[in-house]
Amino acid sequence: MSRPRTRRDDVVETLHGHQVEDPYRWLEDPDSDETRAWVQAQNAHTREHLDALPAREWFGPTMEAIVRRPRAGTPDKVAGRYVVSRSDGRTQQSVWWVADSLEDLRAGGGRVLLDPNTFSEDGTSSLVDYSASKDDRWLSYLVSDGGSDWNSIHRLDLTNGETVAEVLTKVKFSQVTWLPDHRSFVYQYFPTEGSGVGTETAALPVAELRVHRLDTPQEDDELLLSFPQDATVMSWPELSHDGRWLSVMVLRGSSEDNRLWVLPVRTDDGRTVIGDPVKVVDEAVARWEPVRFDGDRLLVRTDHEAPMGRVVSIDLRSLPGTGVPPLVDVVPEQASALIDATAVGQEILTVHLVDAQPAVSRHSLDGRGLGGVDVPGGSVTAVHGDVGDHEVFIGTTSVTRASTAYRLDLTSGQVTELTGLEPEGDSSWAPPAVVAERRRATSADGTEVPYFLLRPEGAPTGPRPTLLYGYGGFNIPELAQYRPVFAGWLSAGGVVVIANLRGGGEYGSEWHDAGRLARKPNVFTDFAAVGDHLVAEGVTTHAQLALHGGSNGGLLVGATVNRRPDLAAVALPAVGVMDMLRFHLFTVGRAWVSDFGSPEDPEMFEVLRAYSPLHNLEKGAVYPATLVTTGDHDDRVVPGHSFKYTAALQRAQGGDAPVLARIETSTGHSLGKPLSVVAAETADVLAFAAAHTGLVPGRPQG
């Protein structure tokens, strides 16, 4: 099979005194006929290779069985009733069911509330979020088509179950925040010149926080907040439980530091009116996330003067006007990172990470500790509860189990695992028993880099094919959580390693800061250190190691391979940010400047240019077997990143290992992928990794 050839143009730009070639820029247009033909040719070449892999026949049905295993989500309450998502494995998307009691849900009862499989014929449209009006009349829900970040807002009449004709469009990075009159809500709108579909690549315009009155034209919506002087600013609103305040986190891109405003809310003659903002904190010096209002106190999760995070109280009656107001500890900073604080009942539920493993605790509003909550799992995926209610639903995952739900009774403190929520279906695949260890590598500067080492129970010792997964960015923690790729690789007898790299959120804001901006290269060094440590410890060999990561993790794989092409036999960059000199020009890319820095800044340009995966390939170098994956509707990290990187790597490859691109159509960054797509894509990725690391599924390795 000959490698595909890609047309090269003579595109050269002078950037900060450097001549930068960009011969594949034409691939940035996903809708051009030439790009579509290129995608078709690449997919045909890739399909020919993947279909010939001996392990594909095993991974195909195995991944189908894994992703189609019946499952249920974490229960929630809507209009006083109990709601849960269910997948019986037969449909592409989960279905949301509602019942009058939790007992009915656990007995398999209830009725369908929302069925996303009816949103589109091919099952590529998905439910993003939902929110009920406080009078229990309306349920708004957000729909994504083809995995796009663009959403449309729809509305269901809960009194009769009928869908209202009114639909709002051009919505992104938003939820629906219902106001106390039950006839209006707040949402985030982007006045794009396009139609708001997943293949559009233009940079987003200035966001608008709007108020929509039901059954009025969307163009008549009231503009509540906008920041035209900075197109990276977005807003995240929340209505207080008593309906008196609308809190707004004013966010600049993906930065963890934000401003916090609160707007007074009143309802006159059945119409809610929102007043002028009170600027609680108007300097983005830390994270300020509202937890709840308690009279004139505002409880906030923050990392101000507390890198591991804490919950503090702010007196709204005595704000200084400028700077940071006086803070009173409610949940003081601990030795472990605080990643969530939720107001439930008359208390606060917190989630800390103890060496990257979640610990849930209860606290009174005055800060008294009320004890821990025993909910086993590698990550906490959901905390559903309301102020004034006595029950809380908590969802967890492990590397081989997609979800487990628990009910916490705040009155008694009793925790109950909620069995029986799953529908009937094919349960032929049984999650393998897994042995988990915590180990630590040492990075080049002496920093300890922890990682999870996961082996199938009973597997022989000795070097074995190993999948090393990492992310390392945007303060996002990587935990021992469920991913189909982990379940499939472990089922085949391989080893999974999840690295806790600098730049992530496992160990507080200082750990994040140590892996961003000019310190971003620390992340790549950490990843390589873990790989080398696995080899030194006899877990694997360089010839048995596969590197995997998505989005910022795709960048991680690409940059690491450029620096250390000898580190691994396989590279699996998914939906990666590969062009670090142009990422800010597309869709929401300029929001990432908080972590990456701006290519328009001469100093940061030098840093970015030095590790950009696209710009640091060496022609004739021997690179690992590489399978690049992306989707043509990815409007988070536009597919042009992966397209250009694939073309450049195919040209640069001096060895015999294949360089392939698997490009999914009608899917995006990962949002709402149909089960059939998840199964097929994961089977291809793992069969490719197995072929080039020596993993034979079902055969003892070692």
pLDDT in tens, 43-64: 999 999 999 999 999 999 999 9
Same domain, 608 and 493: yes
E strands present in 474-557: 495-499, 545-550
Residue 4 is predicted with a pLDDT of 83
In this predicted model, what pLDDT tens digit does every residue of 68-101 receive, in sequence order? 999 999 999 999 999 999 999 999 999 999 999 9
Q: Is the pLDDT of residue 245 over 50?
A: yes
| 209 shares its domain with 265 | no
pLDDT of 146 higher than 70 = yes
Tell me whether residue 588 is in a domain. yes
pLDDT at 193: 86
Looking at the fold, whether 263 and 198 belong to one and the same domain comes out as: no
Is residue 581 one of the residues assigned to a domain? yes
Q: In terms of Cα–Cα distance, which of 565, 589, 570 is closest to 640?
A: 589
**Where a domain ends, among 226, 248, 275?**
226
pLDDT at residue 342 is higher than 50: yes
Query: Given this model, what pLDDT does residue 699 score?
Result: 61
Same-domain check for residues 200 and 167? yes
φ/ψ of 34, rounded to 5, equals -70, -40
- Could you give the residue numbers annotated as active site? 551, 669
pLDDT at 302 > cutoff 70 = yes
Count: domains in the chain: 3
CA-CA distance, 183 to 187, in Å (whole number)? 14
pLDDT score for 632: 83
Model pLDDT, residue 195: 76
d(CA 392, CA 561): 45
Is there a domain that residue 375 lies in?
A: no
Distance between CA atoms of 237 and 235, rounded to whole angstroms?
A: 6
Alpha-carbon span 342 to 339, nearest angstrom: 10
557 found inside a domain = yes
Last residue of a domain, one of 312, 333, 354: 333
| Residue 151 sits in the same domain as residue 292 | no
Dump pLDDT digits (tens) for 387-426. Answer: 999 999 999 999 999 999 999 999 999 999 999 999 999 9
**Which of these, 226, 221, 117, 130, lies nearest to 169 by C-alpha position?**
221
Q: What's the pLDDT at 200?
A: 81
**Same-domain status, 202 and 254:** no
Angle at 228 between CA 226 and CA 232, to 5 degrees: 85
Average pLDDT on 444-454 reads 98
pLDDT at 196: 75
Based on the domain organization, do 126 and 261 belong to the same domain?
no
Q: What is the pLDDT of residue 621?
A: 98
Is 496 in the same domain as 591?
yes
How much of the chain, in percent, has pLDDT values that exceed 90?
A: 93
Give the mean pLDDT of 638-643.
96
User: 561 with 677, same domain?
Assistant: yes
pLDDT at 596: 98
Domain that holds residue 279: 231-333
* Residue 701 confidence class, pLDDT cut points 50, 70, 90: very low
> Mean pLDDT, to the nearest integer, of 514-518?
98
Average pLDDT (236-245) is: 96
pTM of the model: 0.97
Tell me the average pLDDT of the chain.
96
More confident residue, 136 or 668: 136
Looking at the structure, tell me whether residues 251 and 159 fall in a common domain. no
Q: What percent of the chain has pLDDT over 70?
A: 99
216 in the same domain as 188: yes
pLDDT (tens digit per residue) in 208-219: 999 999 999 999
Q: What is the pLDDT of residue 635?
A: 87
Q: What is the pLDDT of residue 354?
A: 98
Going by C-alpha positions, the residue among 610, 577, 592 that lies closest to residue 18 is 610
pLDDT: which is higher, 124 or 551 = 551
Mean pLDDT calculated for residue range 475-494 = 98
Q: Return the amino acid letter for 639.
A: P
Using a CB cutoff of 8 Å and minimum separation of 24, what contacts does 379-385 make? Answer: 379/479, 379/480, 379/481, 379/482, 380/340, 380/351, 381/74, 381/481, 382/73, 382/74, 383/340, 383/342, 383/344, 383/349, 383/351, 384/74, 384/75, 384/76, 384/77, 385/342, 385/343, 385/344, 385/345, 385/349
Is 409 contained in some domain?
no
Report residue 321's pLDDT band, with 50, 70 and 90 as the boundaries. Answer: confident
Band (pLDDT 50/70/90 cuts) for residue 702 is: very low
Q: If you average pLDDT over residues 454-473, what whole number do you get?
A: 95
In the predicted model, what is the mean pLDDT of residues 638-644? 96
